[in-house]
Structures are given as C-alpha cells and as structure tokens.
Chains A and B, each alone.
Chain A
Amino acid sequence: MALILVDGKEIAVKQGETVLQACMREGIEIPYFCYHPSLSIVGQCRMCLVKVEGAPKLLTACTTTVPELPREKKLDGRYDMKVSVACDEAREAQRGIMEFLLANHPLDCPVCDQAGECRLQEYSYDYGAPRSEFVFEKLHAPKRVVLGPHIIYDAERCIKCTRCVRFCQEITKTSELSLVERGADTIVGTFEGGSLDNPYSVCTADLCPVGALTYREFRFRERVWFLQAHNSVCPECSRNCSVRVDSYKGEVLRIVPRYNPSVNGYYMCDHGRLITERMRGLETRELPSLIRDGKPSPMNEKDFYARLVALFSEKKYRPGDVAVILSGRMSLEEMAAYKRLSKELFGAVIGDVLLRSGESDDLLVRDEKRPNLEGARKLGLPVSGKDEAVSSLIGGKKALLIIREDPVGEAPQEERERLDTAIGSVETVVVMDDHLTATAARAHYFVPLAGWFEMEGTTVNFKGQLQKTTRCVAPPEGRKPFHDVTAEFLKAAGKEAPSGFREWFEEVKKEIPVLGLVKAGEIPLKGIPLPERKEKHG
C-alpha cells in the first residue's frame, strides 16, 4: 500500500493499482477515454496526462503505478508520489489533447446518437479549448459502415481509443476488429463487411466513448435525454445480468448492461438486449378472456375471477386431477403467491417449474434459459421436465394451469400434435401469460399478466444472487403480476390476501429466512447473495 497526494488529497494506492484507478476510486476526476477497467491498458488517448512531481514530463495516469519508496525517500516524509491533475501544466495538456481530438471530429452532435452520453462532448465543456484553430478541411473517412448485424461505424467520429478492438480480442476472443491503415488515416475495420457478429457485439457500442459505434436497433429512435432509466435484470437466462432499461412514453427502447461485479461485470449478451425487438411484435393488450375457438373474448375482470373461483370450487379438483406448469420467469413473489393459491384451490402445493435449457458460453450466457429457476428451488418448488415431459405431465388430468410458459409455442414441430391432443382432452385449461401465446389459444381461460419490465419482483440467479427488477413501464390495463392475480382469486373466494409486491415480498422472506430484516424497498442495486441451498436428501 502506497500513499500519494493528489492535489492536496491523500489517497492510498494498492499494489499494482494505477494512479487513475486510485483516483477514480476516491472520486477525483481525471479525464480519460481509452482506459476501461475490464480491458488491457494501452495509454493511447493521452487524455489522462497528469503532473507527477519529479518526473521530467507529464505521465498518463492510466499507466502509472506507484512504487513504494523507502522511508527516507518519502516525499514530505510521507508520500510515495505527488500528483496534480488540476495544475496549469496538466490542464493545458488535457486541453491540448481535446484540441487534437476535435480537430478532425465532425462535431455533428445534433444528428449524433451519442449526444448526451458522449465523453468527447462532455469533456469539451470541461476541458476543451474555447474555439478550434483547426482551419483546414477535416479528414473524410467512411461513415455508416455496417460492421455487424447490430453495429454501425462512423469513422469520422472515431477517436481510435481501441476499446472496441480490445473488447473483441480480450473479452469475446473473437478478434473481428482491428485498426487498419495508419497515421491520421487509421480507422477501425473488419476483414469483411458485417463480420462483427459475436454474441456480445453490441457491448462495443456501450464501450465506445463517442458516437462512432452505434447500436443499429436503437439508432435515431430517441434523443437520450428524453429517456427514463430503470434498474432491472435480464430475464433471458439464469445469469440475470443487471441491466438498465431505458424507456420513453411507456415503451422500452433500449436495454444496456448495468455494472454489477457479482453478476455480469460490465457486459450483457446481444440476445438479452434484443428483447426489445422481440417484444415489439407481440400483441399484449388482451384483457381477461374466455377463449372460444382459439379467439379471446374479453370479460369484465371482476366477473372473470368470480367465474374462475366458482369453477374451481364447483369441480373440487383434487391434487391428482390437476397439472400445473409453472415458470422460472415468475418472480419470487409470484412463486410465493402461487404456493398460497395452490393450497387454497387444491389443498396442497402441486406443480412443476419447467426447466428450459439451451446453449451457454463461458462468458455470461447460462444454459438455463429462465431467470428464476434458482428462486424456485429456494422456495422448494420442483424444477423438472424436459421438453418432452410436458405432454406426460398433462396426460389424464382434468384441469391444467399454465403460468408464464408456452409449451405449445416452444415445442418442436413433431411434438406439437401430441401436445395439442393432450391439452385438448383436458376439461379445464387456464393459461396465464404476458401475451396471447400459442398455448393460450388452446385454453378455455386466459389471464393476462404483467410483463417482465412491467412489474416489480425479485429473482435469484444461478449463483444465488437475489436482485430486484423495477416497473420500467406501466402494464396495459387489466394486466397484473401473478401475485396480484392470486390476490384477486383469494378475494373472490372471500379470503384475506397480501397485496402488491411489498407485501408478497414479506411472504417470500418467510421462506428465505436469511433475508431477515431486508425491506423490499432497500434491496441494494447489486443484489443480495443468498447462501447456498442445502440439498434435501430423501
């Protein structure tokens, strides 16, 4: 541990840590472009130049480590290094770099997607020269280059920080990008057009400190300062990447990774981010409905729930008569609510949470394709069922309840018919989901639920990290989280029921005692690590 003095402030520097890292940790601003904590250090942008006492020239803070001096050599008898970020010399150098970076920069902020979150724009206010003295024609370079299916490159805006190049070399290890040409003509290139096509390609746009790399699906959609940001998690696999969801006028426009060292680090996969595109086509405005010939006919909510309750109390289904398919897409609160409901309706907790798995990689993507399977396990719900198992679960049952799963829609073609017949032979089929799925079209009753970004809830990822998602956009009328649907059922049956996320979270806490004193409103952004599950034997 070394001690440095930065413009009068004492900072302890860990072994191997750079001056920039130490200052960032302590909230002292040093401007920088090329440094990124997850990438190798290249010292290329030269923006982080600082004055180090005794050094003949300015040094880049991002490359400068602090060797511990022997006691008698310490500066002022105390310090291993004295640094100034704010002295005239350093400020002048920072201004000089800005002048250079802006010399050939198009300054087309009004039409640039990055405007509002551009480091170059930001720094030009804070560190820039009052006016540019570059009176020559700016260098022309390719614009709107399709680097990959989701990434567009504008070489004129590029400041050659090589973050994108290093990301593809060091993180995804796919190396689709390289600097090409040299000198002032240097730009970023691929071997052939469009080949930046790895499962994390859009992270390059997140990393790009300027508007050189843009995310194709978001280009020109909305100026960033109009967006509302919400914290959520990605529901597409059991990693549960922490994300920030940007919405505008009730629509989710963009999902970007949110730094969380215990879950996903700085990144997320493209598939998770592209939920926005997959959501766009879905019809999600259904009301509670009876289904006739596959077509929903909406009903008044109150009557609908009364009718369902009446149905179940009339038929008096016993646990053995009923198949319930649950989903790892349900939040912990929804799962807790289901347990209450099941006891109420069938006198016991029955049902299976479907295991859905797929490809994984060694970066982030997990094989379990549901966000909360671990949560289900924590609540003691059985997680089972390979894809083929669904029809066997249904076989011979009188009632079928499916929550947030679409076995028909997801079944391979050859399996479909079997499923269809199985479902067709069940007396009562109730499907609850956030849109009218292929399975729902075969149901008798369809209960619309709030979608993932339309409700609050908690989930537990594969490592046991509990995180909270927030309501990023309001659900359309008539759609609720499943725990609120449960409350409707219970109320219609004349029972007391918790209401809303907060109260149901209290229910969850009863089952996961370590959550102890945690309040629903106080779950930290990074989440809470839960202890490992003790496997129950026997």
Chain B
Amino acid sequence: MSRDIRELLADKEFQRKMEKLAGLYPEERSALLAALHLCESETGCCGEEFQEYIAGKLGIPRASVKGVVTFYEMFHEKPRGKYLVQVCRTLPCMLAGAEILLDHICGKLGIRPGGTTKDGKFTLVTVECLACCDRGPSLMINDTLYTGITPEGFDKVIKELD
C-alpha cells in the first residue's frame, strides 16, 4: 500500500504480475480493470503515470483508460488515505442506522465523506449497497467487510488497525 508508482513500475515482480494479467483473458484489454485494481492496492490510486503505462501495455488509447478510471468508484486518480473507509448508505443500511453510524465516523475521524485525515491515514467515502443488507449497517475498510457495526464497534475496529 502507498508505494511510489515509479518504484512499482520498475519492480520486476510487478512487471511479472502485469504480464500474467495481460495474458489472463481471451483478449488483452479485458485485463484493464484487474490491472487498475492491482495498482490501486499497491499505490492507493491509479494516477496518470500508471494510466499511461497500462494504456501502452494493453494497447488502449490513453483517453479511454482515463474514461475507465473515472467511471468506476473503486479507482482514484488522486492518492487517498492508507485506509479507505467505505460506509454503505443505501436504503436498507439507512434503515438499519447507517446515517447515525456515518455521523459518528465523521466525528471520530474529523472529516466529511470524501475527506482524508491530516495524517493521511483515513479517507472516508460513502458507497452504495454492499449486498449484505440483512446485516447492516455495513462498511468496508480497504478489502475487509464489517457488518452490523455499531459506533462503538467502529471505534474498536480502527483501534485495532495496524
């Protein structure tokens, strides 16, 4: 997480992974989303440098790559915090108390949705239904799902991070 993009692109291991991805699907360009996911998890974003690299690698116009990065919620052009706190706010979770939880999280982290804490540790975003509505309110921190979470539960979770 949060590796420098230049360092990443020079990394042999990473290049090997990219090669593998490119050959994974019947057509190369299908690997685009997977490649962006990889960059996102390694560096915390899919900036222009990577967009340019992957465009060349998969033979996709650069503008189209940008179009893709900006289309999907999970890709970010700008770096975000070490922990991406994704709070579900769709109706079923709202019925379970998502708004109360979100208010609490905003207070706790001292940021609004879309914001990043000063220390760069947390970025808070709201997301749409995470397909576990029976166990709401739901949230994800990076790749980990938390359900039925209470304000106190959230405090405990972030305390245990690192």
Q: Do the two chains touch directly in the complex (Cβ atoms below 8 Å apart)?
A: yes
Q: What is the 8 Å Cβ interface bit string for chain B, positions 31-61, against chain A (1 contact, 0 not)?
A: 0000000000000000010011001000001
Please give me the residue from chain A that is nearest to B72 by CB atom.
A182
One of B48, B52, B61, B67 near A180 (C-beta < 8 A): B67
- The complex places the Cα of A178 from the Cα of B67 at a distance, in Å, of 6
Given the known A-B contacts A175-B61, A178-B61, are A191 and B70 also in contact in the complex, defined by CB atoms under 8 Å?
A: no
- What secondary structure prevails in chain B residues at the interface with A? helix
Q: In the complex, are the beta carbons of B48 and A178 less than 8 A apart?
A: no
B82 CB → nearest A CB, Å: 25
- The complex places the Cα of A406 from the Cα of B102 at a distance, in Å, of 75
Given the known A-B contacts A191-B48, A191-B51, A192-B48, are A175 and B63 also in contact in the complex, defined by CB atoms under 8 Å?
A: yes
Q: Is the CB of B104 closer than 8 A to any CB of chain A? A: no
Please give me the residue from chain B that is nearest to A168 by CB atom.
B63
Please give me the residue from chain B that is nearest to A189 by CB atom.
B66
Q: In the complex, are the beta carbons of B63 and A181 less than 8 A apart?
A: no
Residues in A with CB closer than 8 Å to B67 are 178-180, 189
A161 CB → nearest B CB, Å: 16
Sorting the interface of chain A by its residue count into under 10, 10 to 19, 20 to 34 or 35 or more gives 10 to 19
Residues in B with CB closer than 8 Å to A192 are 48, 62
- The complex places the Cα of A310 from the Cα of B75 at a distance, in Å, of 81
Residue in A175, A182, A189, A191 with the greatest tally of chain B CB atoms within 10 Å = A191
Given the known A-B contacts A175-B64, A191-B62, A191-B63, are A180 and B51 also in contact in the complex, defined by CB atoms under 8 Å?
A: no
- The complex places the Cα of A190 from the Cα of B63 at a distance, in Å, of 5
Residues in A with CB closer than 8 Å to B51 are 191
Interface size on B, residues (CB 8 A): 13
Please give me the residue from chain B that is nearest to A178 by CB atom.
B67
Q: Is the CB of A176 closer than 8 A to any CB of chain B? A: yes
Residues in B with CB closer than 8 Å to A179 are 67
Residue in B64, B66, B67, B71 with the greatest tally of chain A CB atoms within 10 Å = B67
Please give me the residue from chain B that is nearest to A176 by CB atom.
B63
Q: In the complex, are the beta carbons of B70 and A177 less than 8 A apart?
A: no
Residues in B with CB closer than 8 Å to A180 are 66-67, 70-71
B130 CB → nearest A CB, Å: 19
- The complex places the Cα of A477 from the Cα of B55 at a distance, in Å, of 57
Residues in B with CB closer than 8 Å to A176 are 61, 63
B53 CB → nearest A CB, Å: 12
B76 CB → nearest A CB, Å: 13
- The complex places the Cα of A192 from the Cα of B55 at a distance, in Å, of 13
Please give me the residue from chain A that is nearest to B68 by CB atom.
A178
Q: A175-B61, A180-B71, A191-B48 are in contact. List 17 more A-B contacts (CB 8 A).
A: A169-B61, A176-B61, A177-B63, A178-B61, A178-B67, A179-B67, A180-B70, A181-B71, A182-B71, A189-B70, A191-B51, A191-B52, A191-B55, A191-B61, A191-B62, A191-B63, A191-B66
Q: What are 23 pairs between A and B in contact, CB < 8 Å?
A: A169-B61, A175-B64, A176-B63, A177-B63, A178-B63, A178-B64, A178-B67, A180-B67, A180-B70, A180-B71, A181-B70, A182-B70, A182-B71, A189-B63, A189-B66, A189-B70, A190-B63, A191-B48, A191-B51, A191-B52, A191-B61, A191-B62, A195-B63
